[in-house]
Amino acid sequence: MATERMQVLTKGFFKENPVFIIMLGLCPTLGVTTQVINGIGMGLSVIFVLVFSNIFISMLKNIIPNSVRIPSYIVIIAAFVTIVEMVMHAFAPSIYQALGIFLPLIVVNCIILGRAEAFANKNTVLDSFLDGVGMGVGFTMALTLIAFIREVFGAGTITLVPMGGFDGVIEIPLFYTYPVRVLTLAAGALLLMGYLKAFFEWNANRKRG
C-alpha cells in the first residue's frame, strides 16, 4: 500500500512528467521561462491550484452530477486561481508583473483540468492530494530546467529571490559577456523545447533497447 502511494506521488516527477511526457500546459511552460524565478513562481502557483482543486474535486466527486462536471471543475479551479492572483499581487508584485497574463491563464492550463478528469474524480482525497503534489512538482521541475537553460545561455544570469545583501542575480562570467540572445526570444523557446523533447524521446528509446 505504501509503495503504491509513493508511486502516485512520484510518477509525475519523471515517468509521467506533465510537460515532457504528457505534453500538457505548454503555453506557460514557454511563455514565462525567461527567468528562473518566473519559472519557480509559475510552478508554485500551479502546485497550489492543482493540489487544492484535486482535493476539492475528489471530495465533491459524489455530489457533482456527471453532466455538469466540467463546468463545476472549472469554477473550482478558477476560484483557486483568483486566490493565487490576489495573494501574488499583494506579496510578490514583481513576479505578478512578470507572469502577467499567464497567471489568470492557469484556469485553462490543461494539466489541472486533465488531472481533475483523469484522476481526482475517481480516487480518494489522499491519493488526489499526492497526485496533485507529484504532478505540480514535475511541472515545476520542467519549468525550472527550461528557465535555467534559457537564462544561463541567453542572458548569462540566474535570477532568484533578492535576500539581504544579495540582489538575487547571479552572473555567469562567459555567457554574461557573450549571451546567446535567441534563447530569451520566443523562437529560442520553441527550438529549445524541440531539442529537449527529442532528448527525452531518445532517452526513452534507448531504455526500451
- Any idea how long the chain is? 209
Q: Where do runs of H (alpha helix) occur along the chain?
A: 2-10, 26-31, 36-59, 69-91, 93-99, 110-115, 125-155, 173-177, 186-208
Does residue 69 touch other proteins according to CB under 8 A?
Answer: no
Choose which of 7, 82, 97, 124 interacts with other proteins (CB under 8 A). Answer: 82
The region of 47-55, 59-67, 126-134, 187-195 touching other proteins under the rule CB under 8 A is 187-195
Under 8 Å between Cβ of 134 and 12: yes
The region of 11-19, 46-54, 56-64, 80-88 touching other proteins under the rule CB under 8 A is 80-88
Does residue 180 touch other proteins according to CB under 8 A?
Answer: no
Does residue 79 touch other proteins according to CB under 8 A?
Answer: yes
Does residue 75 touch other proteins according to CB under 8 A?
Answer: yes
Distance CA 35, CA 33 (A): 5
Distance CA 186, CA 209 (A): 35
Residue 20 Cα to chain centre, angstroms: 11
Residues that bind other proteins (CB under 8 A): 23-24, 26-28, 30-31, 70-71, 74-75, 78-79, 81-82, 85-86, 101, 104-105, 107-110, 113, 182, 185-195, 197-199, 201-202, 205
